[in-house]
Amino acid sequence: MKMADEPIVVGIDIGTTKVCTLVARVEGGSSFRILGVGIEPSQGIRKGTIVDLQAASQAIARSIEKAERTSGMEITSALVSLAGSHVSSVNSRGVVGIAGRVIDQEDVFRALDAAQAVAIPHNREIIHVIQRGFVVDGQDGIRMPVGMHGYRLEVEAHIITAAASTVENLRQCVQASGVEVVQFVLNPLASAEVVLSDTERQMGVVVCDIGGGTTDMAIYIDGDIWHTMVLGIGGNHITSDIAHGLRLPLSQAEEIKKLYGHAVQSDIPENETFSTRIFGEERPVEISRRDLAMIIEARVEEIFDLILQEIKRSGYDGLLPAGVVLTGGSSLLPGIRTLASQVMGLPVRIAKPENLLGLTDQLNSPAYSTSVGLLSWAMMMSETPAAAGKRSRKKGGSSEFGDWFKSFLKRLLP
């Protein structure tokens, strides 16, 4: 959508706990103003995947309708977030011959196509193909090879895939509201657009988006994405532990977590209590905050243990001087930064979207990093015309991202 020559971008963040639709106008080519916000509790979604098609479609439709009403615009297309343990990634290398001439953008496109020639099962769909760097005649560390002379061009690419059926179910839910999915964007990649600094990306950093049903992480080194992973654990597991440990309904456990929760038991005075009504009791009972913190600390520690294991499994644990950047709704839990630093032995900070314009009252929170990050991705896509005639070869998926990625590369060319 365009208005007064300024593109209108739309992002739909479909999470386990909420669906957030944002409409924004790109201003000055580098910032955007929030025009419409539609936030609706999620239904029919568990750990980032659709478990009830009708309920999920209705929740998404309500979110889109709210955003249309506040912005005064009709939404016809959008970028949509993607998460879930079905997401996986692999690093690949593509090689093409140049025959001793100057490298042009077509050679870059051919190298990226070659990098996608990996064994992808028929039930998987390629979501992202992200270049990590180029090698020309054995010389590595090249950011953009166009204009260089060479005989052999190699590209190192990070390929992210997802279960095709899960992606199609999500697409079907969005299309039921009359909205076309322009591109799916992995949650931590969207969040990274608004919470990471260029210095952190260059030095080496992990962004962890801890949501309700999943913990999404991405490792950035030398300014590029090196590893991605989605863990099927999040804030809802903490809530479930509280509900079981204190014998409470889930809705009440969630409220208590937000009001009295803390991730470090030793930080809570022994005499602090709160009153609530539990199963089997006719009157409210007094519960120690330290007991509540003990339940929370055990689960949060497990989450960071799993994150640390994944960092070590990637092999990049020694290349992260910038440490960990936490975002997502569960990062709002008091004491979580301290516990994360203790468990992982890395510097930790909590980040949220900043420098927003327009309807931003609810969005200045880590819970909306992915939502705002989708707008940043959409803004990048709106800055260039479509790469007409450029089709990426896919192994079991659509070529939408291939078209945009080539278009995005053109924007980087001198």
Confidence band of 389 (pLDDT split at 50, 70, 90)? very low
For 46, other C-beta atoms within 10 Å of its C-beta total: 17
* Alpha-carbon span 291 to 280, nearest angstrom: 19
* Alpha-carbon span 63 to 158, nearest angstrom: 32
Render pLDDT for 313-357 as a digit per residue (tens, 0 to 9): 999 999 999 999 999 999 999 999 999 999 999 999 999 998 888
71 to 18, 182, 236, 368: CA distances (angstroms):
20, 20, 31, 18
- Pairing mode of beta strands 6-14, 77-82: parallel
309 to 60, 203, 304, 312, 383: CA distances (angstroms):
34, 21, 8, 5, 39
- Please give the average per-residue pLDDT across 367-384, as a whole number: 83
Is 359 a residue whose pLDDT tops 90?
Answer: no
pLDDT higher for 373 or 386?
A: 373
pLDDT higher for 387 or 243?
A: 243
Confidence band of 5 (pLDDT split at 50, 70, 90)? low
Q: What local confidence, expressed as pLDDT, does residue 250 receive?
A: 93
Contact at 8 Å (CB) between 25 and 14?
no
Architecture (CATH level 2) of domain 197-350:
2-Layer Sandwich (3.30)
Contact at 8 Å (CB) between 56 and 41?
no
Is 396 a residue whose pLDDT tops 60?
Answer: no
Is 391 a residue whose pLDDT tops 70?
Answer: no
Confidence band of 17 (pLDDT split at 50, 70, 90)? very high
* Alpha-carbon span 63 to 173, nearest angstrom: 12
311 to 102, 295, 314: CA distances (angstroms):
39, 25, 5
Confidence band of 382 (pLDDT split at 50, 70, 90)? low
Segment among 27-31, 68-72, 123-127, 261-265 with least mean pLDDT: 27-31
Confidence band of 280 (pLDDT split at 50, 70, 90)? confident
Q: What local confidence, expressed as pLDDT, does residue 383 receive?
A: 56
Q: What local confidence, expressed as pLDDT, does residue 354 receive?
A: 85
Render pLDDT for 67-93 as a digit per residue (tens, 0 to 9): 999 999 999 999 999 998 899 998 899
Domain ranges, ordered by start, for the chain: 88-161+399-412, 197-350
pLDDT higher for 329 or 391?
A: 329
* Alpha-carbon span 149 to 129, nearest angstrom: 25
- The third-level CATH classification (topology) of the domain covering 88-161+399-412 is Dna Ligase; domain 1 (3.30.1490)
Confidence band of 395 (pLDDT split at 50, 70, 90)? very low
Q: What is the mean pLDDT of the chain?
A: 87
* Alpha-carbon span 127 to 145, nearest angstrom: 25
Query: 88-161+399-412 and 197-350: same fold?
Result: no
Confidence band of 394 (pLDDT split at 50, 70, 90)? very low
